[in-house]
Amino acid sequence: MLLATLLMAMPGTLTAQEAELTLDDIFATPRMTGTTPSGPTWAPNSEHFAFSWSEPGTPGRGLWVSTNDGKEVRLMSNTTSPSVRDMAWIDENTILSLRGNDLWQTSLSQGDDIQLMALEAGARNLSLSPRGKQAAYIKNGDLWLADFSSKENRQLTQLGIASLSSLPRGRYSRAEREIGPGIWSGPTYKWSPDGKTIAFHVVDRREMRKVPFPNYLAAETEPNEVRRSYPGDPNEIRRVGLLDVASGKMSFLDLPEPQANQVIDFNWSQDGALLVDIASDTAVERKLFVVAPGESQGREIWRGVRENRMYTSFGSTWHPDGQQVIFLSDMGDRYGLYTIDASTSTDDPPQLLTDPSYDVFSAPTIAGEALFYAGNGVNPYEQHVYRLNTSGGEPEQITQLAGQNLGYPSPNGKHLVFRHSNDTSPAELYVVNNDGGDATRVTQSPLPAFTEHSWAAAEYVSFPSLVDDYTLHARILKPTNMQSGKKYPVLFGPVYSNTARNRWAGNYGLIQQLLVKKGYIIVQVDSRGSDGYGRAFREEFLLGFADQDIEDYASAVAYMESLAYVDPDRIGIWGSSYGGTLSVYSLLMKPGLFQVGVAAAAAVDPVFFGTDDVAIVRTPQTAPEVFERKALKYAGNLEDKLLFIHGMQDHVVPFKTTAVLAEELIKQGKDFDFAFAPGATHGWSGERYYNRYLFGKIIEYFDRHLAEPK
C-alpha cells in the first residue's frame, strides 16, 4: 500500500464558506488531527525504517515501513491484528512487533506478517536480545524472557509488588516495587552487548507516605491510598541491578543515597562497561560512574555541584571509541555536550563539544561517524537537529523546516528521519539525506476535517521587563481580518514556562485556535524558568515560584496594552498545573492585572508539592520561607473573576489543596466559581469526556466575562 496519492492530498485553497470550528469538532472520534506517527526504528543496514501509524480515519496503529529516501511507504501489518505497541528489527529484512499480548514477525522481502508467539498478558517494554533469538519484556514490574525457538516465556526476576491502589488512574498509582522508571523519569532495562547481562532499574516506594485520594465513583466510597510523598519526605528508593540472564543471579550496584538520587540513565559500552548517570533530587549534585565488566562498584569519573541548580536536562552516552563519555550538562551559560575521558582517573575538566551560544536539549545519538542532537541555534522558539563529527569540527544544522524537530538518524549516519510540527501543523515524519537536499514528507495524518480549516500562525515578539534588565519573549495569535479601530480581548494562556515555542500543542493548540476564531488574541510568555535565554534567567525560578515570573506577566500585559487594538479592560489568564498556579496567584498578588482567571489543577500550597519539586522549592527544613507562600494567605485580595478547575483523582496536585483554598475564599465572602471532575487526573486535558467538559467551562467563562460590551 503506497502513500503517493495520500501525500498529494494537501490542504486546498480556503474559501469564505469555511465551517465554524466547535468543541465537538475538536473532540470528535476519530480525532481531526489523525494519528501521530511513532518515533521510527531503523533497519541495521540503514535501508529502511519502521514506525507505527494509521492513515487518516483508520483506527488503531499499523506497522509501516519506508525506504530511507521516503519514496516507498508500505503498511506491513495485518489490518485485523491489534495495534502495534513496540517494534525491533531482527535483521535487515525482519521486524518483530508487539501487538496485544502476541509477538508478530514481519518479512519485508516476502511480505509475510505472522503471529510468532504469545507473551504473558500485560507485556510491555519489549527489547530484542543482541543475538536476535530472544526478547525481554516487563510484566507486573518484573523482567520476562521470550524464547523464539521454544516459544516459551520465562520469568527472570521476582521483584514486582502490586500497587496499594486498585484504581489504575493518576500519576502515583504505581507498583509498590517494580522494574521501570521512577514516578517522573528514569530508565527501565538494557541488554549488554554480548546478551549475557541485563542492567535494570528497580524502584521501591514502600517508604513513601500513604495518601488517600478517595474514589467517589466506586459502589461505596473507597479511600484509594497511593504512595505519594511531600517535599522533605522519604522518596522512592532507586537502584541499578545487574541480571545474569542464564543463571538468574542478580547483584546491585553500590550507588550513593538511592533514596535521594535519581538514576538519569545507564548505557553499555561495546566492551561491556556500564555508564551510570545519577543526580540528586534537588538537582544540586550530578555524578557519572563507570562500572567495569564483572564489577558491582562504580568508579566516579565526574561530579558537578552547583547549589542554585534547579529542574534541568541531563543525559549521557559512550563515545564510539569506548574510552570517552559524552554528556549533556549546564556547566556553561547554555546547555551543552561535554566529553571526558572515562578510561583513567584525571583532574582534567570536561571539554565542550557544542556551540556555547545556544542550548542543546538532548543527549546525543551516535550514528556512523557523527553524533546527532537537538538544539535551538536558530532562535529560542525552534528546535532543530544538529550533526557533529566525532573527529571534531563545527556542528551542522540538518533540519531546515521551521518549528520543532526530533531526530532519528540511520545507523550509518547518512539519513535522518525527523518528526516535525509547528504552530499550525501536527507532528509528521520526514526523512532527509544528511549530505543535503530537501526533506521528504513520509506521513500525512490529519483528516479533511482538519485541513478544511484555516489556522492562525503565530507572531513572536520581544519586549523589556519592567522590573529588571531582561528581555522577555512571547508568542501571539491574532484573529484574521482584524477590523481597524476595534479593540479585542486578550487571553494569556495556557501560561507556563517554555510556551513561546513554534510547535503543535495538541488539544491546547486546538483550543487556542478556537478562541482566536471567536475573536480573542492569544498570548504565551516565556517567563522565568524558561530555556533559551541563559542559565541566570532559567534559575531565577529557584525558590521563586509565583513571584518574579508574575512580574513577567505584568510586563507582558503592559506591552499588550500599548497596542492600539487591545482592550485593556478585557484581559484574562488561564493555565493548568503550574499554569494554574500562575493564574490564581496573579489574581491574588496583583488584583486588577487580569479581569478574569481560570486556574486548572493549580498548585496552591507548596507543603503538598511532590518530592520532585524539591528541585525548585527545596524542603521545609532548608527553605521554610518558601513553604509559607500559600495562596490561602492572600485569599482576601481576590477582586477579579476566578474559576477553579480540578480533577478529584489528581495525584500531582491534590484536589484537597484547592478545596482548602475554596473554603477560605467562602469564609471571606469572596465570589468565585468551581468546576470539578470526579475521575479526572492531573492530565485532564487529554482525558476523554473530561477534556470536552472542562474546556467547555473555560471557554464559557471567558465568553461570559470578557464578551464585547453591548
Q: What is the CATH number of the domain that holds 637?
A: 3.40.50.1820
Does residue 222 register a pLDDT over 90?
Answer: yes
State the Cα–Cα distance between residues 108 and 442, nearest whole angstrom.
Answer: 18
**Can you give the pLDDT at residue 14?**
40
**Can you give the pLDDT at residue 586?**
98
Does residue 9 register a pLDDT over 50?
Answer: no
**Can you give the pLDDT at residue 5?**
35
| 386 and 522 in a common domain | no
Domain final residue pick, 382, 407, 441: 441
Residue 50 inside a domain? The answer is yes
Domain containing 61 equals: 1-6+18-118
| 584 and 700 in a common domain | yes
| 436 and 459 in a common domain | no
**Where is average pLDDT lowest: 4-8, 155-159, 160-164, 415-419?**
4-8
Instruction: Please report how the helices 690-706 and 506-517 are oriented relative to each other, as an axis angle in degrees rounded to 10.
Output: 30
| 515 and 415 in a common domain | no
pLDDT bracket for residue 344 (50, 70, 90): confident
Q: If residue 705 lies in a helix (H) or strand (E), which one and from where to where?
A: helix 690-706
| 576 and 487 in a common domain | yes
State the Cα–Cα distance between residues 285 and 307, nearest whole angstrom.
Answer: 8
| 661 and 606 in a common domain | yes
**Can you give the pLDDT at residue 482?**
96
**Where is average pLDDT lowest: 2-11, 410-419, 494-503?**
2-11
pLDDT tens profile 39-79: 999 999 999 999 999 999 899 999 999 999 999 999 999 99
Residues facing residue 387 across a β-bridge:
372, 396
pLDDT tens profile 562-593: 999 999 999 999 999 999 999 999 999 999 99
Q: Which of 328, 280, 326, 287 is nearest to 304 (CA)?
A: 287
Does residue 110 register a pLDDT over 60?
Answer: yes
pLDDT tens profile 239-265: 999 999 999 999 999 999 999 999 999
**Can you give the pLDDT at residue 543?**
93
**Where is average pLDDT lowest: 16-30, 450-464, 651-665, 670-684?**
16-30
Q: What is the mean pLDDT of residues 542-551?
A: 94
Q: What is the number of structural domains in the chain?
A: 3
**Can you give the pLDDT at residue 260?**
95
Residue 539 inside a domain? The answer is yes
| 477 and 397 in a common domain | no
| 368 and 488 in a common domain | no
Does residue 202 register a pLDDT over 90?
Answer: yes
Q: Which of 405, 402, 365, 404 is nearest to 387 (CA)?
A: 365
Omega before residue 30 within 30° of 0, cis: yes
Omega before residue 56 within 30° of 0, cis: no
pTM over 0.85: yes
Q: What is the mean pLDDT of residues 521-547?
A: 95
Q: What is the mean pLDDT of residues 622-632?
A: 96
pLDDT tens profile 594-609: 999 999 999 999 999 9
Residue 667 inside a domain? The answer is yes
| 501 and 629 in a common domain | yes
Q: CA 274, 276, 281 angle in degrees (round to 5)?
A: 165
pLDDT bracket for residue 442 (50, 70, 90): very high
692 grid coordinates: 470536552
Residue 192 inside a domain? The answer is no
Q: If residue 665 lies in a helix (H) or strand (E), which one and from where to where?
A: helix 655-667
**Can you give the pLDDT at residue 4?**
37
Residue 201 inside a domain? The answer is no
Residue 420 inside a domain? The answer is yes
Domain final residue pick, 417, 441, 465: 441
**Can you give the pLDDT at residue 642?**
98
Residue 364 inside a domain? The answer is yes
| 570 and 421 in a common domain | no
Residues facing residue 251 across a β-bridge:
242
Q: What is the mean pLDDT of residues 88-116?
A: 97
669 grid coordinates: 465572602
Q: What is the mean pLDDT of residues 480-494?
A: 96
Does residue 121 register a pLDDT over 60?
Answer: yes
**Can you give the pLDDT at residue 11?**
36
Q: What is the CATH number of the domain that holds 31?
A: 2.120.10.30
**Can you give the pLDDT at residue 12?**
36
| 468 and 565 in a common domain | yes
Domain final residue pick, 118, 141, 176: 118
| 640 and 513 in a common domain | yes
**Can you give the pLDDT at residue 528?**
96
Residue 423 inside a domain? The answer is yes
Q: Where are the alpha helices (DSSP H) in 562-689?
A: 578-589, 614-617, 655-667
pLDDT bracket for residue 708 (50, 70, 90): confident
pLDDT bracket for residue 370 (50, 70, 90): very high
